[in-house]
Amino acid sequence: MQKEEKTLSIHQPNFIPWLGYFHKIKKSDVFIILDTVQLPRGKSIANRNKIKSAQGELELVVPVAKPKGNEGKITYKMARIADAKWAKKALKAMELNYKKATHFQRYFPVIKELFQHTDFCQMNISFIHFVVRELNIGTDIHLLSQIDNADSGQKNELIINICRHFDANVYLSGRGAEKYNDPELLKKHGIRLDYQQFEHPAYTQLHNNFIPNLSIVDILMNHGPESRNYL
C-alpha cells in the first residue's frame, strides 16, 4: 500500500514576507520556521521588505544588532533590534500610504502592536502566525528551535532530519534554493523534491499601476481576509 503524501516546507522568519511565502505555507502539511539558522550578513530580505507608495515601491528596513560577544555569525533567534525609532518611521510610512485602504483600520493597530517588539525574530514569527490565522491557513507550524534532535546538519541533511522527524515524504522548495537541493540524496531517504509553483496574481491596489512582490501587508490592507482567495 502506497504511503500517503505528507508535504513539508521550511523558511526563515523574514520581516513582513510577501504573498508567495504564505502560498508556500498553505501548500504544505507542515511548515518549519527556521529561527536557529544563520541570519544573512549584509543586505538581505531577512530584515527588509517593500510596501507601495504614491511614488512606487517603498522599502522598510528593521535595523538589526548582534548581541555583545557575538561579532561573527548569529542566528535569527539571537538578533536584536538596534534602534527602537525604526518602528515609528515604518508605521508613519504605512499610515501615510494605506490610510485610505479599505482594511487599514483592521490591520494598522495589529501591526503597530507587533512593531513594539524588541526581539526581531519573535516580531517576525508573531506576524507570520497572525497572517496565517487571518487567511485561515490550517498548516501545522513549528519552530526549528523547538524540534528535538532535528536541527542538526546543513542544507540537505537538515531537510532530511526535519522530514524524518515529521514523517514527511515530500519536500516543497522555492525555486531560489534549487542550486542547493540534492534531489537524489532526498530520494535516497524516501523524500520527493517538489518546487513551489506560484505566479503572483494581480489585485486592486492604491496608487496607480499594479506592483507585484510587495509585502503581504499590501494585499491585506486592500482586500482583508479575502486575500486568501489570491493564494
Number of structural domains found in the chain: 1
**For residue 193, is it within any domain?**
yes
**For residue 1, is it within any domain?**
no
End-to-end CA distance of the chain: 33
Q: What angle do CA 104, 89, 86 make, to 5 degrees?
A: 120
**For residue 103, is it within any domain?**
yes
**For position 226, what pLDDT does the model report?**
96
List the one residue out of 226, 229, 216 whose CA is nearest residue 102. Answer: 226
Handedness of CA 145, 146, 150, 156 (dihedral sign): negative
Query: Which range of residues forms the domain containing residue 224?
Result: 7-230
Q: How far is the C-alpha of 158 from the C-alpha of 149, rounded, in Å?
A: 10
Phi, psi of 145 (to 5 degrees): -65, -20
Q: How far is the C-alpha of 98 from the C-alpha of 93, rounded, in Å?
A: 8
**For residue 64, is it within any domain?**
yes
**For position 71, what pLDDT does the model report?**
62
Inter-residue long-range contacts of 132-137, CB under 8 Å, 24+ positions, other chains counted: 132/22, 132/25, 134/220, 134/225, 134/227, 135/22, 135/26, 135/225, 135/227, 135/228, 135/231, 136/225, 136/228, 137/22, 137/25, 137/26, 137/228, 137/231
**For residue 2, is it within any domain?**
no
**Paired residues of 173 in beta bridges:** 195
CA 185 to chain centre: 26
Specify the 3-state DSSP secondary structure of 23: helix
Q: How far is the C-alpha of 114 from the C-alpha of 126, rounded, in Å?
A: 7
Is there a contact between 132 and 25 (Cβ–Cβ < 8 Å)?
yes
**For residue 222, is it within any domain?**
yes
**For residue 225, is it within any domain?**
yes
Per-residue pLDDT of the chain (231 residues), as tens digits, is 567 999 999 999 999 999 999 999 999 999 999 999 999 887 889 999 999 999 999 999 999 987 776 666 889 999 999 988 999 999 999 999 999 999 999 999 999 999 999 899 999 999 999 999 999 999 999 999 998 766 666 789 999 999 999 999 999 999 888 888 999 999 999 999 999 999 999 999 999 899 999 999 999 999 999 999 999
Q: What is the CATH number of the domain that holds 68?
A: 3.40.50
**For residue 55, is it within any domain?**
yes
